[in-house]
A = this chain, B = another copy of it.
Amino acid sequence: MTELEGAVLGVVWSRGPLTGYAVRQRFQRSPTVGWSASEGAIYPAIERLIGYGFIRSVEEMTGRRSGRALTVTAEGEEALRFWISSLADSMGGAPVDPIRTRVNYLGALPPVERRAFLDSAERNARAALAAIRGHDIDPKHKDPWALKASLLGAAMDVEARLKWIDEVRRLLPGG
């Protein structure tokens, strides 16, 4: 199971019956970047999950509009538990981060542009932090505490980044 498949399965499990469109919206509105959540990724992933027997599509109406409402099967719930529990050894380390990658080669920029780089990284981080803090808790989610825990993690992540950017400014040669 891919990360995307696992995450989709989790969304369907945690928010009861919902359409593929609604699943996609969850990803689009997530304050975590990296999920492109394009139709070309979500719908095929759902098809695969249906193929595995982890998701069932009940021909139901969500409101007035037509659309297949998705539900997790018993095997799907088992698969979700397995996916969560089977942590690879590599998970838990520092994930790839485009800013950190670029800092390795910051010496290629003239000093003025180095500071400009760090400034724009800081701006982005502050914007991201505001988005995370302003993110409303989805009332459809089964376990609000889990959602809160995840959002807290994202916030702490970005806060750590802000502190780090300050440190990098200090490490810059010449002040």
Q: List, in ascending order, chain B residues with CB within 8 A of A10's CB.
A: 101-102, 104-105, 108
**Which residues in window 137-155 of A have CB below 8 A to B?**
142-143, 145-150, 152-155
- Determine if A66 is an interface residue (Cβ-Cβ < 8 Å): no
- A22 at the A/B interface (Cβ < 8 Å)? no
Interface of A is mostly: helix
Min CB distance A11 to B, Å, is 8
Instruction: Compute how far the CA of A63 lies from the CA of B77 in the bound complex, rounded to whole angstroms.
Output: 56
Q: Count how many chain A residues have C-beta atoms less than 8 Å from C-beta atoms of the other chain.
A: 78
Q: Does A59 contact B (CB under 8 A)?
A: no
Contact with B along A4-24 (1 / 0, CB 8 A): 001100100110000000000
Contacts of A123 in B (CB 8 A): 92
Residues of B within 8 Å of A94, CB to CB, are 31-33, 128, 132, 153-155, 157-158
Are A149 and B106 in contact, with the CB atoms below 8 A? yes
- Protomer copies: 2
Stretch at the interface among A38-46, A49-57, A83-91: A83-91
Given contacts A32-B95, A34-B96, A87-B98, 12 further A-B contacts (CB under 8 A): A13-B108, A33-B91, A33-B95, A85-B109, A91-B124, A92-B125, A93-B124, A94-B157, A106-B146, A145-B172, A149-B167, A156-B164
Chain A interface (Cβ < 8 Å from any Cβ of B): 3, 6-7, 10, 13-14, 31-35, 77, 80-81, 83-85, 87-109, 113, 116-117, 120-125, 127-128, 131-132, 142-143, 145-150, 152-161, 163-164, 167-168, 171-173
